[in-house]
Amino acid sequence: MTISPISTDLLTKTSDVSSATKSVSSGIEDVGNSFETILSSLNESQENADSLVNQLALGDNVDLHTVMIGLEENDINFKVAMSIRDKLVSAYQQIMQMQV
């Protein structure tokens, strides 16, 4: 009976799995960074809208149209952020339901 040598194909497949794992983890970090950027943008939009409302309430020289545009901009940004959050939660739930 002859003994066949260990093939190097198994070693390359193992490295492919580790590189795939690295790419998945970097993809997760990218999604996290993107969502963090969206949230910081939403925060800036909220602060801008609050500032405009405060200026209007204090009687400063600010146009009512500018205040309304700022509020609507903030509302749209908030809805987009909530939509993205809902999609991320949905994707997470689908992943958790997958059978391995």
Question: Each residue of 12-37: b (16+ CB within 10 Å) or e?
Answer: eeeeeeeeeeeeeeeeeeeeeeeeee
Q: Give domain limits for the chain.
A: 33-97
pLDDT tier, 70 (very low <50, low <70, confident <90, very high otherwise): very high
User: Residue 40 and residue 38: Cα distance in Å, rounded?
Assistant: 6
Could you tell me which residues come within 8 angstroms of residue 48 by beta carbon, excluding any fewer than 6 positions away? 70, 73, 74
Given a cut of 80, whether residue 18 has pLDDT beyond it is no
Q: What is the pLDDT of residue 7?
A: 63
Give the pLDDT band (50/70/90) at residue 13.
low
